Amino acid sequence: MANNYTEFSEMIPCKSKEQQDWLMRELAEAVKDDDGAMYPPCEFTPDGKDVWVYAEDSGDLDVLADVVATFQNVFGVEEPWTLTWAGTCSKPRLGNFGGGGLVAYRGKVSWQDAWDWCAAEVQRLQA
């Protein structure tokens, strides 16, 4: 059996301790499981006044992106935030490797993953 991973590492810049504290609280309880328990979408730790988010095994990119978009809206953050990820597998299984990136800007998130880009490019080339 193979294990699949979603790996990333990025810093969320904060301009104040208030922003950092807000992010730390929101990340700690961003996901609710079927039993009602709350847990984070990824690993995170304060770094100076910023927050480092990362995943060595797997992270929930959708939830993390939502937290960052909300953070931008709550604090009026105007700077874009980007994150790239790798989709890997513990064994060389076909179709189990990829990755992508996202940009959060003014509370909205844009996505691009490797598989979608490849499919669009094949469609463009065959048109």
Q: What is the pLDDT tens value at each position of the chain, 127 positions in all?
A: 899 999 999 999 999 999 999 999 999 988 777 888 888 999 999 999 999 999 998 999 999 999 999 999 999 999 999 999 999 999 999 989 999 999 999 999 999 999 999 999 999 999 9
CA atoms within 13 A on the CB side of 125: 6
Confidence (pLDDT) at 82: 98
Give the other-Cβ count within 10 Å of 14's Cβ.
Answer: 22
CA atoms within 13 A on the CB side of 41: 20
